[in-house]
Chain A
Amino acid sequence: MKTTPIYGIMAEFDSASDLVAAARKTHEAGYRKIDAYSPFPVEELAEAIGFHKNRVPLVTLIGGIIGGGSGYLMQYWMNVDSYPVVIGGKPYHSWPAFIVPTFELTILFAGIFAVLGMLALNGLPMPYHPVFNVPRFAMATKDRFFLIVFSTDPKYKPAEVRQFLENLGPRSISEVPS
């Protein structure tokens, strides 16, 4: 056992309620490097493991501003400065006509930033991850709920963590080799 370093200790639960309760207790007990896994989004779970910093909205906003701003300036430069042509007697700077591509580019960039931002902040794509070493973890995308205390946690002591998780009433406990 000593030869493989341990990534963390993982407990398996039967329901979302049990997982949220367990995650909350673990966080209250002072463990900070923890994570919880569920087969569908559980609103309360992020709160329970003490995760608050969500920068996806900011990234999306930045994308929207870049898309809209550059979209308008692009049209202005192309139709007013670089290649001015009189069309239907309209002024070079026909701003109402530029609104439509500006709007579309705002949405396009905001959407792309939202998706890529979410993936990047989540560290995806990540084909390999130590938690996949636990055979039972395959159930995390079906109907099981998992809680893990990482070995990087300052309070991490294998025996203590195992005992603590044992007391939360899990279905099973596994060590996660890294």
Chain B
Amino acid sequence: MAERMDEVTVANRQAPVIEPGYTFGTVTDKISSIVLNRPTSTGWFIGFGIGFMVTMMLLFALGYLFAKGVGIWGINIPVGWGFAIVNFVWWIGIGHAGTLISAILLLLRQSWRNSINRFAEAMTLFAVAAAGIFPLVHTGRPWLAYWMVPYPNTMQYWPQFRSPLIWDVFAVSTYFTISLLFWFVGLIPDLATLRDRAESRWAQMIYGILAMGWRGSARHWHRYETMYLLLAGLATPLVLSVHTVVSFDFAIGIVSGWHTTIFPPYFVAGAIYSGFAMVLMLAIPIRKIYGLEDFITDRHLQNSAKVMLATGWIVAYGYGIEAFMGWYSGNRNDTFLMWNRLHGPYAILYWSLLLCNIAIPQVLWIRKLRTSPVALFFISLVILVGMWLERFVIVVMSLHRDFLTSSWGMYYPTRWDWMTYIGTIGMFLTAMFLFVRILPMISIFEMRTLLPEAEVKPE
């Protein structure tokens, strides 16, 4: 955060992280007026309305699920995991970009992160919330899900901690809690700004309560900065551990295609890959609609594209190692799994995955496309589809033809599977719409630190 915008710009000879000419006052006005002064547009209501209706569809699908049970889904033996786990892993993966941007890029002193960390963190929270629905309802009796938590009970029973599924409970709930804390404490100084600038009594009171009486004292800032740095240091191994633990759900099992040591790094890279794709898919329309091109500049788009290019290659390496191990292990089942991916009944999905995740994103090597918002938006969409296919390939294609040919089968999602999946996208969008309307989507105080006038001149 200490780094100033002019130094960064000169050093890299790139688009600046914030366009010149802004002052503390204009940065504050520009971001806070989106929440406080700008009239809610018709477009916002339409977008929110669509998201809300899709959320209602989710509730309908879940309500029917609670009434009927998981039999309404396409899952059966041999494929018992299906869409629920595919979507869980997909959403959790998307949720990785927020904490990566806030924590890891903070520790690496990448000051360009300051304008995208806030809404990336919000995106993380909503994505993890969407992810959390799936394993919960997939248990079949979600009203007993609290049994996974160690609490004293009359059954005199305790969870057993040798199961990766219990690790998941701890990893995902910790990740959600820490992400929420990180996001909320990051908001406190900005909530104080909104409190002091709001004109309506209600807004003053609500923002005032949330700001908890923040007044920007030097003592407070000092402790705050220490806490923020420590939290970033804690969140960094945490974000890497979450998808590692999710990959353990697979890697600890003996099913071909799951039982491999490449899974943790390859899952984490894939998570960051899809997370940045989602950040771009949100950032590109948001900056256009709210006129924030001066804060979310081409530099941000380009840097995110580079991160996607790099993590995309780690993912490609993972696919390569899977194929190589299928051959090199000499294990008949592993070899068959690879054959089945390339030529089996779901082969079209595997080839689409290679197309979406490896082939198409290579156009990001072209500088012109890296700085073109429209191109990036569609490439990000392709990557998100590709990452979803990856989870489908891993979950379904490994299970549907395992060791005994007599137990082979096919998996087809039902309309309830699709409604639940699309419903969570609606829930995610609804939450994002609410977020950009009622909270500052860019961290105002961190943007102030990027301005040249923030520098303290030596006497």
In the complex the two chains form, what is the Cα distance from A112 to B227 in whole Å?
A: 10
* Interface presence of A65 (CB below 8 A): no
Task: Decide yes or no whether A57 CB sits under 8 A from chain B.
Answer: yes
Closest to B184 in A: A115
Q: Known: A51-B222, A122-B224, A141-B192. Is A15-B453 also a contact (CB below 8 A)? A: yes
Query: Number of contacting residues on A, CB 8 A?
Result: 72
Kindly specify which of A17-25, A157-165, A167-175 makes contact with the partner chain: A17-25
Q: Among A51, A79, A88, A111, which residue has its beta carbon within 8 angstroms of that of B235?
A: A111
B196 close to A142 (CB less than 8 A): yes
For the complex, is A153 an interface residue (Cβ under 8 Å from B)? no
- In the complex, whether A2 has a CB less than 8 A from a CB of chain B is no
A126 and B156 alpha carbons, distance in the complex (Å): 44
Tell whether B23 is near chain A: CB-to-CB under 8 Å.
Answer: yes
Question: Contact at B1–A41, with CB atoms within 8 Å?
Answer: yes
CB distance from A105 to the nearest CB of B (A): 7
**B158 on the A face (CB < 8 A):** yes
Known: A111-B177, A115-B181. A128 touches B213 (CB 8 A): yes
**What is the interface of chain B mostly: helix, strand, loop, or mixed?**
helix
Q: Which of B170, B218, B445, B449 contacts A51 (CB 8 A)?
A: B218
- B217 is contacted by which of A35, A82, A88, A101 (Cβ under 8 Å)? A35
Which residue from chain B places its CB closest to the CB of A83 in the assembled complex? Answer: B158
Contact B217 A97 (CB under 8 A): no
Neighbour of B156 across the interface among A17, A21, A83, A140, CB < 8 A = A83
- CB contact under 8 A between A97 and B161, given known A39-B216, A51-B218, A74-B150: yes
List residues of B (216-243) whose CB comes within 8 Å of A's CBs: 216-227, 230-231, 234-235, 237-238, 241
- Judge whether A16 and B227 touch: CB under 8 Å: no
Q: A94, A110, A117, A118: which has the most chain B beta carbons within 10 Å?
A: A118
Can you name the residue of chain B whose Cβ is closest to the Cβ of A90?
A: B162
Asked if B208 contacts A127 (CB within 8 A), the reply is yes
> Hey, which chain A residues are within 8 Å of B182, CB to CB?
111
Residue A31 lies at the interface, judged by CB distance under 8 Å to chain B: no
Residue A66, interface by CB 8 Å: no
The CA-CA distance from A121 to B222 in the complex, in Å, is: 11
A112 touches B158 (CB 8 A): no
**A-side interface mostly:** helix
B181: chain A residues within 8 A (beta carbon)? 111-112, 115
Q: Which residues of B contact A37 (CB under 8 A)?
A: 215-218
Nearest chain-B residue to A111 (Cβ)?
B178
The answer to the question of B193 belonging to the interface, with a C-beta cut-off of 8 Å to chain A, is: yes
In whole Å, how far is A90's beta carbon from the nearest beta carbon of chain B?
6
In the complex, the answer to whether B235 meets A85 with C-beta atoms within 8 Å is no
Interface residues of A in 127-176 (CB under 8 A from B): 127-129, 131-132, 137-143
Q: How many A-B residue pairs have CB under 8 A?
A: 215
B107 at the A interface (CB under 8 A): no
Contact among A20, A36, A78, A107 for B234, CB-based, below 8 A: A107
Q: Among A44, A60, A101, find the residue whose CB has the most chain B CB atoms closer than 10 A.
A: A101
Q: How big is chain B's contact interface, by range?
A: 35 or more
Q: Which residues of B contact A126 (CB under 8 A)?
A: 212-213
B174 within 8 A of A: yes
B223 touches A45 (CB 8 A): no
Q: Are A41 and B456 in contact (CB under 8 A)?
A: no
B3 at the interface (CB under 8 A from A): no
Q: A108-B178, A111-B235 in contact; A16/B456 too (CB < 8 A)?
A: yes
Contact A40 B449 (CB under 8 A): yes
Contact B161 A23 (CB under 8 A): no
Query: Quick check: A114 and B218 within 8 Å, CB to CB?
Result: no
The answer to whether the Cβ of A30 comes within 8 Å of any Cβ in the partner chain is no
Q: Report the Cα distance A57→B228, complex, angstroms.
A: 11
Most buried by B among A17, A54, A100, A129: A100
Q: Assess whether B446 is interfacial by the CB under 8 Å rule.
A: yes
A78 partner, pick from B158, B192, B196, B213, beta carbons under 8 A: B158
Q: Which residue of B lies closest to A71 (CB)?
A: B170
Interface status of A9 (Cβ within 8 A of chain B): no
Given known contacts A37-B217, A112-B181, A132-B215, A117 and B161 CB-to-CB distance under 8 angstroms: no
Docked pose: A48 CA to B391 CA in angstroms:
54
Do the beta carbons of B161 and A104 come within 8 Å of each other?
A: no
Residues of B within 8 A of A108 (CB): 174, 177-178
- B170→A105 contact, CB < 8 A: yes
Given A46-B219, A100-B245, residue A41 in contact with residue B213 (CB < 8 A): no
> Which residues of A does B touch, CB under 8 Å?
15-17, 20-21, 23-24, 35-46, 48-49, 51, 54, 56-57, 60, 64, 74-75, 78-79, 82-83, 85, 87-88, 90, 94, 97-98, 100-101, 103-105, 107-108, 110-112, 114-115, 117-119, 121-122, 124-129, 131-132, 137-143
Known: A16-B455, A37-B215, A82-B158. 20 other contacts (CB 8 A): A38-B216, A39-B193, A39-B445, A40-B448, A43-B456, A49-B219, A57-B226, A78-B150, A83-B157, A85-B160, A104-B170, A107-B238, A115-B185, A118-B227, A122-B220, A129-B215, A138-B197, A142-B24, A142-B193, A143-B23
Q: Mark B residues whose CB is within 8 Å of A.
A: 1-2, 23-25, 28, 150, 156-164, 166-167, 170-171, 174, 177-178, 181-182, 185, 189, 192-193, 195-197, 208-209, 212-227, 230-231, 234-235, 237-238, 241, 245, 248, 445-446, 448-449, 453-457, 459
**Which 4 pairs show the lowest CB-CB distances between chains A and B?**
A125-B212, A143-B24, A78-B158, A46-B222
